[in-house]
A and B are shown apart, each in its own frame.
Chain A
């Protein structure tokens, strides 16, 4: 299994993944024209030809047969070309000693606070591959790549998680809030943002803070929650050190996680080691390993052990990285007990 930079000729495979993902993956719409344009941006980003405001990194996961079966991405700096909107969950307190009243009212403030952060996006793994290390590799490959090219990314990392919606794609948060201002259903509004058509948010959304007491009970319950399909991904990002700091998606109320760059575990704990080929041993932990290439980055996961400043891996792992013994690699141990069900196998935006 291998994660590498997405290339123009991955277009048909990515289109297939986008179709499989359906409406849950707004940052990867099933539009050939849009995807092709994005892949050109991605190629220029990996080549270091774009300013940070435009850089957009998309990775693909190849299975052992060389088929593209998953994707993950990160936007280098969100909101530097168009505003990036979030609601901050704040509080309004009304109190009077004289009247013996005290009330806390959750209040949503429309902000651009997360502007400039690197935004994780476009995580999707094809259903048949949601097992073993695929998902963990696919998601964390981004972190190890970011650790290697720290200068290309922002000091803050965010991940907008998919919020609650039912099987018909109806979002209680949207129905109680956005719907009043857009007069369109959630799926369409979500599609429009996914296609990069974001200016309408500023034009149509309420500018003033919103008192949560005027949202429906279902909408209030959806604030800061994630879609059941994204619960495992949420757990893993929390494990990586990302936290809920009170920001939610303006459409579906899903939580946005965030962390300082250096607080993300796979970034902080990654290290450069010399590759050694040998026998990692039966009880060896799984490691993520990055070949330190940029446009030609190759990232894999496999059993390894550290011995005297070297990372001892099996010959097939080195082959996958196309590296010879003695070459420096960036590596970090994979955390999380092996599970039958891959926690990254689900959809996150």
Chain B
């Protein structure tokens, strides 16, 4: 059984293993012990209960197989993207050029480098061990952290964004990078991702074209991948789309993948999850699978489990599940069904 929790320094070795296995493009997961250690320490600091405004705290969640103690996945939320450096994306825009006299009308798709999403909370660092890949594991890894956001809204921004990995080929080249950005910054895509994760992406972004780019003039190979999702990320993308993320407006400056965004409060998991009081006892026969989490910070635990529950009633957990979720009689539990 998989449990989602926040990481601790004890997880460093295992997180490094996940980071090494994660593909290029997950810039938030550097395969570098020192940086990972800094990230984990950052998470430890963020767990301080006193946090009441959003800064550059990062909450690094891990997915643990409770039977073996092995970590099989991870994901993060950064409280405010671009808190210390601007967060760059390309904005999809539509310019309408029309001539009344000639009866001409032309819609032109344009990409504009922007900082619109600076200050949004950012879902990031998603990785799941392929051996543990299932829809449930994906959902827990992707949405468990949203229950955390729902319970602790003061720790996050009103809006939230996710960078979805775009298309790259077997050699790790990105047609978008090669066709668009490389004219301005002649560095391999893989090297760019490495630099982005060490120097910060804004250092690179500041070298990219400042004027809007007219999409019809870009090479076909680059046009074709604008807003396209890497096949390996499609399932996560679908899960996020069901959460109500909007995908039309922004793309990643490096690989052209979609950068989706939403109002935090309107995400399905935030909006529709409910809080119930825990009763330890003999659970009723389950009627569905629920995504559930306690409302703690340092001791945050989330899992997917079959339950029977009706709004207004207490939620009955068997002692073992209650222990895994770090809840006891009378504690509150946030949950959402439908899985």
Contacts and interface: CB of A to CB of B under 8 A. Distances in A.
B289 to A, nearest CB: 48
Interface string A202-228: 011110111101110000000000000
Contact of B108 (A92, A107, A181, A197): A181
A295 B102 CA distance: 37
A315 interface: no
B184 A214 contact: no
Interface stretch (A7-15, A93-101, A264-272): A93-101
B99 A211 contact: no
Interface residues of B, number: 29
B185 interface: yes
A147 B333 CA distance: 92
Interface residues of A, number: 32
Given A181-B106, A197-B101, A200-B99, A103 B211 contact: no
A211 B184 CA distance: 10
Interface in B203-259: 203-204, 207-209, 211-214, 216-219
Given A197-B101, A204-B106, A206-B108, A105 B184 contact: yes
A176 interface: yes
A209 B217 CA distance: 13
A77 interface: no
Given A210-B214, A211-B183, A200 B104 contact: yes
Interface string B175-206: 00000000111110000000100010001100
Interface string A255-269: 000000000000000
A203 B186 CA distance: 35
A210 B214 CA distance: 8
B211 to A, nearest CB: 5
A176 B216 CA distance: 9
B94 interface: no
A183 B97 CA distance: 11
A208 B212 contact: yes
Contacts of B52: none
B195 to A, nearest CB: 7
A84 interface: no
Interface string B289-305: 00000000000000000
Given A98-B199, A203-B98, A214 B104 contact: no
Contacts of A208: 211-212, 214
A109 to B, nearest CB: 9
A217 to B, nearest CB: 12
Contacts of B184: 92, 94, 103, 105
B29 to A, nearest CB: 22
A209 B210 CA distance: 10
A183 B214 contact: no
Interface string B79-115: 0000000000000000001111110101010000000
B217 A210 contact: yes
A306 B218 CA distance: 62
B108 A180 contact: yes
Nearest to B212: A208
Nearest to B209: A211
A48 B121 CA distance: 69
A181 B186 contact: no
Contacts of A176: 217
B207 A96 contact: yes
Contacts of A99: 185, 187, 195, 199, 203-204, 207
A182 B104 CA distance: 8
A184 B106 CA distance: 11
A204 B207 contact: no
* Nearest 10 Cβ contacts at the A-B interface: A213-B183, A180-B216, A203-B99, A200-B99, A214-B217, A94-B184, A94-B207, A204-B97, A208-B211, A209-B211
Given A95-B207, A215-B217, 17 more contacts: A94-B208, A99-B187, A99-B195, A99-B199, A99-B203, A103-B184, A182-B104, A197-B102, A200-B101, A200-B102, A203-B97, A203-B98, A203-B99, A204-B97, A204-B98, A204-B102, A214-B218
